[in-house]
Amino acid sequence: MISKTLTEAINTQITREYFSAYMYLAMANDAMDKGFKGAFNWLSLQFAEEQGHALKLSKYLQDRGAKVILDEIEKPQDEWCDLVTIFKDVLVHEQKVTAWINEIMAIAVQESDFAAQGMLKWFIDEQVEEEANAADMIWMLEMNSESKVALFQADQELGKRVASAPVAE
């Protein structure tokens, strides 16, 4: 049986994952408003991925016999000055998510909940990837921000991202 403390922490993270999805959708829409179709693609796929993370956590709770309780989702920012700023905000947000996942893992370790630790290990590994991807996007965009042609090419590169396998399995 999963503890009440761990259930509450995971439920809080589910809401955070849905906020993350909502934030990425806002970023995608702002990128499209600015004419960056490639960034729209990248951020839209991230929107879907974050929803998958929430579903994976929900399924885990349900498999453990716990109730999923959704909370309110705050309204995200809806406009950024440029793509570099969008991706800098992505990195800051993903660093927060990493800290939150680590806090949940600390609870699982403290409670010796090995099943939760196994599930959370996937999220810890995922966060390493998320932060690295954001840092890579910032580097690419900063390297190309002074040239419209180079920025166009960077946006084309962002457009090459394709959906990965669903994570809610």
Q: What is the pLDDT of residues 71-94, one digit of tens each?
A: 999 999 999 999 999 999 999 999
pLDDT, position 158 = 86
Q: Tell whether 62 is covered by a domain.
A: yes
Count of domains in the chain? 1
Residues spanned by the domain of 153: 4-158
Q: Tell whether 164 is covered by a domain.
A: no
Q: Tell whether 74 is covered by a domain.
A: yes
Query: What Rg, from alpha-carbon coordinates, does the chain have?
Result: 17
Q: What tokens appear for 149 in the block?
A: 């042609």
* CATH number of the domain that residue 115 is part of: 1.20.1260.10
Q: What is the pLDDT of residues 132-150, one digit of tens each?
A: 999 998 898 888 778 888 7
Residue showing tokens 């761990």:
6
* Contacts (Cβ under 8 Å, ≥6 apart) of 110: none
**pLDDT bracket for residue 160 (50, 70, 90):** confident
Return the number of other C-beta atoms located less than 10 Å from residue 121's C-beta: 13
Q: Tell whether 169 is covered by a domain.
A: no
Q: Tell whether 93 is covered by a domain.
A: yes
Q: What is the pLDDT of residues 31-59, one digit of tens each?
A: 999 999 999 999 999 999 999 999 999 99
pTM for this model (two decimals): 0.92
Q: Tell whether 167 is covered by a domain.
A: no
Residue type, 26: A
